[in-house]
Structure 1
Amino acid sequence: MSALAQPPHPRRQAAIDHLEALIGFDTTSAYSNRALIDHMQAYFAQLGMETVVLFDETGEKANLIASAGPHDVSGIVLSGHTDVVPANPRAWRSDPFCLTQREARLYGRGTCDMKGFAACVMAAAPELLSGELTYPLYFCFSHDEEVGCLGAPAIARHLASIETPPGLAIIGEPSEMHVVNGQKGKIAMRVTVHGEGGHSSFAPQHVNAVEYAARIIAMVGERERRYEREGPFDGDFTVPHATTLATIIEGGVATNITPDHCSFVFELRSIDQNAAQADMQALIDEIESALLPSMQTLSPQARIEWQEQFSYPAMGDATETPLFKAIEPILPSRAGKVSYGSEGGVFEVVGNIPSIILGPGSIQQAHKPDEFIEIEQIDRCLAFFDDLARWTKGASV
């Protein structure tokens, strides 16, 4: 093993052991996460924490909230998601659901996004919970973040309903242990163009759904270029303006048939949680105004169908809030704002809980074959939790 940047943290091996167990649960979003939630609930309950499990309507997916500390003080949330994106074993050098160490890296699906954070919470929990807490702690782990932050709203609503809601959520997405104080929101939209088909030799008499879908995609792309030219801008983001992007398309049945339907998905990533829906509606109105008249001249039944797949809000800047100010002396340096999504905006909008992102690992490794986390990042996360443990007990750090 190559030399690491700092001496091993005393709980490093405990974190690796927890990570090995968590990686062994295949919690790809298409599958249930119940077994992993049961595993984590049993562990935190054994440490004396109060636990609440919130199921989705199917009963196959669940969120976990484990809490400790006083009920009349506003506390800290440590939040992570339990689901992972799919992993094709043929694209990996090792089994994606078996933790593998090569030199100073730990490989496996979810190591950085974001079971590495969960493993650090589990390893640090005995120290975080030791002694008398002056601030409560809430360990929250959700389902289905990767497919639209579907589980987090239930957690946010639950926390908002308690006697004294938390004052700050730390979202453990991979940020290389730097504080992120803003993230974009996202709307994913499925568009289905319903045209009129027929033999392709009569194409001018038909409404070619693929052609009109292409025109819509071109207008989506033009909206992206307008954002790039006109803003609004926020230079703290890695991409300093809103973006639009078509990501999936399907349509047509044969080379000699004018296609009567075409479906595609595009996204809008916004820097302003208050403007996203209005921007999306303005884009829809612009497209329909430009294209529907010519479509319906040929076929009155032709139409464009819009179906929101999911959305999550942008996360605002929590750095001026009281609990952030109180905890700021123990926080690492800031890294600005990010264009990827997290559950931070959900906690902020649904639960009125200001949020930041702070977690081990690099987002550059997420969603890729041979996903990994540097062991040094595990050590840095555990060191932060040491400071947090002292802070929650009122000790100087």
Structure 2
Amino acid sequence: MPTPVELLETLVGFDTTSAKSNMALIDWVRTYLDGHGIASTLVPNEDGTKANLWATVGPAREGGVCLSGHTDVVPVDGQPWDTDPFTLTRKDDRLYGRGTCDMKAFPATALALLPEMLARPLARPIHFAFSYDEEVGCLGAPSMIAEIGRSLPRPSVVIIGEPTDMKVVSAHKGMWFFRTIVTGKEAHSSQTHRGVSAVMTGARLIAKLDEMAKARAAAADPDCKFVPPYTTIHVGTVQGGTAANIISRRCEFVCDVRNLPDDFPEDIQREYEAWIEAEILPEMHAVDPNTRIDVTTENVVPGLREDLDSEAETLVRQLTGDNDVSYVPYGTEAGQFQSAGMAAVVCGPGSIDQAHQPNEYVEIDQIAQCETMLRKLIDRCRS
């Protein structure tokens, strides 16, 4: 029977950077499951280059507990790694490699305990749900979630094994991305009166978003458990212009909103678009009516709302002994499962402080704690 560390070594060995296919890893997991007599279902993307995987251990019926994790990892390009990021390397009590904490340790531990799940019949099913493209906006899980209740059994509890130091996370922020494309009018830079600079207009738009962000920070509820305790608005990249002496025709950027679960990020986009319509477009059209600003929603991931009385909260707190209430500012697939009517919490091995970093690692003790939690879960599902 392979250990969690041995399976983690295997999973880390697959380069599942989001820009690449995850099929080699998925095929390996399918073969592993099949070797134990467990059938699996794939929910692929449109071109078949990536897939979610679902499998049920125990009775194929509604209810039970779903162990959920994503298979993709963030890039290592340009990061100063001391070891091969796709070769698991042990140093003292840490295991180094891309995805060790975010988040291949959780599925590795769950898969390692599969023989124990099969050793005695489960009265309550345990489901595996492994997704693709979580790191680029939680894009893969929705198609798998859509199949739950249709062709896949609906679990009553979902544990998302993101790195939380094995603490129970009760709530997280949502994500709302929207793209702005400014189309201006080119002219010689000495004749600014004849052109409409897309780059300079874009700068005004970004300044507006910054103003909106600061207003939310100033109005933050000091009792809010999130850090920071408000919805954030951020622009991370900007592209535009062709030369210093040409009034730019195009400028493009994406706004990243991380909203409190009870906030409505679409209202931020509406406020922004209304301001553009009233303040910016009239000035642009006075020079050239063909200039424009297009704002489109790119991606939406719901936040996880606190539900301390849910079955997921109750179960995982009993399994871990953790009774603190923790909130995190990042997003996960938990909000997607919750929005589809399933009780969800986030709890897994490793620290988010190591995620996305060069020399990413997970502590061996964290894997041991996860193993203990899942063994207790297996015992619960037999009763």
* CA 1:168–1:90: 2 relative to 1, 3 Å: closer
Q: 1:251 aligns with which of 231, 236, 240?
A: 240
Q: 2:260 aligns with which of 271, 279, 291?
A: 271
For residues 51-101 of structure 1, the C-alpha deviation after alignment (integer angstroms, 9 at most, x for no partner) is: 111111110001110102234451111000000111127611011111111
CA RMSD, Structure 1 to Structure 2 (Å): 1.9
Bigger drift between 282-291 and 73-82 goes to 282-291
Q: 1:321 aligns with which of 310, 313, 318?
A: 310
- State the distance in 1 between where 2:240 and 2:316 align: 53
* CA 1:370–1:323: 2 relative to 1, 3 Å: closer
- State the distance in 1 between where 2:334 and 2:364 align: 25
For residues 251-275 of structure 1, the C-alpha deviation after alignment (integer angstroms, 9 at most, x for no partner) is: 1111111111111111111113661
- State the distance in 2 between where 1:391 and 1:227 align: 44
Counterpart in the other structure of 1:8: none
Counterpart in the other structure of 2:122: 133
* CA 1:163–1:199: 2 relative to 1, 3 Å: closer
Using the TM superposition, give the Cα deviation of residue 323 of structure 1 relative to its aligned residue in structure 2, in angstroms: 4.9
Using the TM superposition, give the Cα deviation of residue 233 of structure 1 relative to its aligned residue in structure 2, in angstroms: 6.9
Counterpart in the other structure of 1:345: 335
Give secondary structure in 2 for the equivalent of 1:316. Answer: coil
1:7-46 superposed matches below 5 A: 14-46=3-35
* CA 1:90–1:219: 2 relative to 1, 3 Å: closer
Counterpart in the other structure of 2:345: 356
- State the distance in 1 between where 2:228 and 2:78 align: 32
- State the distance in 2 between where 1:223 and 1:233 align: 19
Counterpart in the other structure of 1:208: 197
- State the distance in 2 between where 1:20 and 1:322 align: 33
Using the TM superposition, give the Cα deviation of residue 325 of structure 1 relative to its aligned residue in structure 2, in angstroms: 3.0
Bigger drift between 174-183 and 127-136 goes to 127-136
In structure 1, the gaps of 5 or more residues are 1-10
Counterpart in the other structure of 1:76: 65
Given that 1:83 and 1:146 are in contact with CA atoms closer than 8 Å, whether structure 2 keeps it comes out as yes
Counterpart in the other structure of 1:159: 148
User: In the alignment, is residue 67 of structure 1 matched against residue 68 of structure 2?
Assistant: no
Using the TM superposition, give the Cα deviation of residue 316 of structure 1 relative to its aligned residue in structure 2, in angstroms: 1.5
Q: 2:81 aligns with which of 92, 101, 106?
A: 92
Given that 1:189 and 1:267 are in contact with CA atoms closer than 8 Å, whether structure 2 keeps it comes out as yes
Given that 1:268 and 1:280 are in contact with CA atoms closer than 8 Å, whether structure 2 keeps it comes out as no
Bigger drift between 49-58 and 268-277 goes to 268-277
- One-letter code aligned to 1:97: F
Using the TM superposition, give the Cα deviation of residue 277 of structure 1 relative to its aligned residue in structure 2, in angstroms: 1.9
- One-letter code aligned to 1:345: G
- One-letter code aligned to 1:362: S
Give secondary structure in 2 for the equivalent of 1:198. Answer: coil
- State the distance in 2 between where 1:105 and 1:89 align: 23
User: In the alignment, is residue 296 of structure 1 matched against residue 291 of structure 2?
Assistant: no
Percent identity (aligned): 38
Counterpart in the other structure of 2:184: 195
Using the TM superposition, give the Cα deviation of residue 217 of structure 1 relative to its aligned residue in structure 2, in angstroms: 0.5
* CA 1:92–1:224: 2 relative to 1, 3 Å: same
Q: 2:355 aligns with which of 366, 385, 388?
A: 366
* CA 1:316–1:108: 2 relative to 1, 3 Å: same
Bigger drift between 44-53 and 172-181 goes to 44-53
For residues 163-213 of structure 1, the C-alpha deviation after alignment (integer angstroms, 9 at most, x for no partner) is: 852111100000000000111111122211111111000013321111110
Q: When the two structures are aligned, how many residues end up with a matched partner?
A: 382
* CA 1:49–1:332: 2 relative to 1, 3 Å: farther
- State the distance in 2 between where 1:16 and 1:325 align: 29
Counterpart in the other structure of 1:336: 326
For residues 119-165 of structure 1, the C-alpha deviation after alignment (integer angstroms, 9 at most, x for no partner) is: 11111222233312121111110011111111101221122325852
* CA 1:326–1:371: 2 relative to 1, 3 Å: closer
For residues 343-374 of structure 1, the C-alpha deviation after alignment (integer angstroms, 9 at most, x for no partner) is: 1111122x321211000000011111111111
- One-letter code aligned to 1:228: A
Counterpart in the other structure of 1:3: none
User: In the alignment, is residue 108 of structure 1 matched against residue 97 of structure 2?
Assistant: yes
Using the TM superposition, give the Cα deviation of residue 102 of structure 1 relative to its aligned residue in structure 2, in angstroms: 1.2
Using the TM superposition, give the Cα deviation of residue 309 of structure 1 relative to its aligned residue in structure 2, in angstroms: 2.5
For residues 248-302 of structure 1, the C-alpha deviation after alignment (integer angstroms, 9 at most, x for no partner) is: 0011111111111111111111113661223322222223322111111111111
- State the distance in 1 between where 2:254 and 2:140 align: 22
Using the TM superposition, give the Cα deviation of residue 327 of structure 1 relative to its aligned residue in structure 2, in angstroms: 5.2
Bigger drift between 327-336 and 194-203 goes to 327-336
* CA 1:164–1:92: 2 relative to 1, 3 Å: closer
User: In the alignment, is residue 57 of structure 1 matched against residue 46 of structure 2?
Assistant: yes
Using the TM superposition, give the Cα deviation of residue 49 of structure 1 relative to its aligned residue in structure 2, in angstroms: 2.2
> What is the TM-score of this pair, normalised by structure 2?
0.95
* CA 1:385–1:161: 2 relative to 1, 3 Å: same
Bigger drift between 45-54 and 173-182 goes to 45-54
Given that 1:176 and 1:361 are in contact with CA atoms closer than 8 Å, whether structure 2 keeps it comes out as yes
Give secondary structure in 2 for the equivalent of 1:160. Answer: coil
- One-letter code aligned to 2:304: M
Bigger drift between 356-365 and 13-22 goes to 13-22
